[in-house]
Amino acid sequence: MKLLLAEDDAILADALSASLAKAGFEVEVAPNGAVAEFLLLRQHFDVGVLDLGLPMVDGLTVLKRVRAAKPALPMLVLTALDGLEHRVAGLNAGADDYLTKPFDFPELEARIRALLRRTRGGPASSAQQLGRLSFDRDARRATIDGTLIDLSPREWMLLDLLLTQRDRVVTKDQIAESWSVERSESGAGSIEVYIHRLRRKLEGSGLAIRTVRGLGYLLEEGDA
């Protein structure tokens, strides 16, 4: 398996390159964003590991350009920035997975191999179909009868949580936790606003979000 490692920290790049080679990968190292973009667009790689804090061309820009040209290439993002807005920005730019520094090499290897397994399984393996809704977590696409639903980051995470907990009530505390905020920060009113917005966007999908009074919300088949 051929892997592109884009990392400007020479010591870390050498250590990761050596460990990945021992794990059976053929590794090409890019020390900056310009080289990473050039290699990823012009050579074949089975997977890319991209640090966001790259010099010359930042990692998010590289990620967006590569994703536009090679939508099926698995990309794992590394970053020292662990705030929610940074995770959301990386995922919205096209990252398939996200790992915050510092990390242990076994976790990096496991995440890379998980990405490769999903790729070998084909595009359909990551898509979930419920009613007329198709939800592809890897591609970060949600469609109703093939029409793309425009979801904000919080709406996306809310729908993801409801689908993951399908047939189980999702509490407001769980929703706040999925947003990586305290319940007091999200506010009951804020959650209700996003539930209302998501309900409207799911119209015609054959799905409904039911309010379970005093408990939370339940995603079920059948239009409200």
Strand 216-221, strand 207-212: pairing: antiparallel
Tokens at 102, concatenated: 């510092």
Q: In this predicted structure, what is the pLDDT of residue 57? A: 93
Written as six digits, the tokens of 141 are 């696409």
Token pair 């689908």 is found at 163
DSSP class of residue 126 equals: G
Cα distance between residue 79 and residue 204, in whole Å: 39
Taking the CA of residue 186 as centre, how many other CA atoms within 13 Å lie in the half-sphere pointing to its CB? 21
Residue 70 has φ and ψ, to the nearest 5°, of: -135, 75
What is the predicted pLDDT for the residue at 209? Answer: 95
- Return the pLDDT at 219: 92
What's residue 125's pLDDT?
43
- Opening angle at CA 86, ends 129 and 10, nearest 5: 115
Query: How confident is the model at residue 108, as a pLDDT?
Result: 92
* CA dist., res. 19 & res. 11, Å (int): 12
**Amino acid at the residue 75:** M
Rounded-to-integer distance, Cα 58 and Cα 177, Å:
30
Are the C-beta atoms of 119 and 72 separated by less than 8 Å?
yes
**Along the 224 residues of the chain, how does pLDDT read in single tens digits?**
899 999 999 999 999 999 999 988 999 999 999 999 999 998 989 999 999 889 999 988 999 899 888 888 999 998 876 656 656 666 667 788 888 888 889 989 998 998 888 766 544 445 678 888 988 876 778 899 888 899 988 898 899 889 888 778 999 988 988 887 554 445 556 899 999 999 999 999 999 999 999 899 999 887 54
Paired tokens of 167: 């047939």
For residues 42 and 35, what is the distance between their CA atoms, to the nearest angstrom?
A: 11
- pLDDT for the residue numbered 40: 94
Length of the chain equals: 224
How do strand 75-79 and strand 97-100 relate by DSSP bridges?
Answer: parallel
Instruction: Decide if 20 contacts 27 (C-beta within 8 A).
Output: yes
Report pLDDT for 83. Answer: 56
Helix axes 84-92, 59-69, angle to 10 degrees: 30
Q: Kind and range of the H or E element at 186? A: helix 183-186
Is the whole-model pTM more than 0.75? no
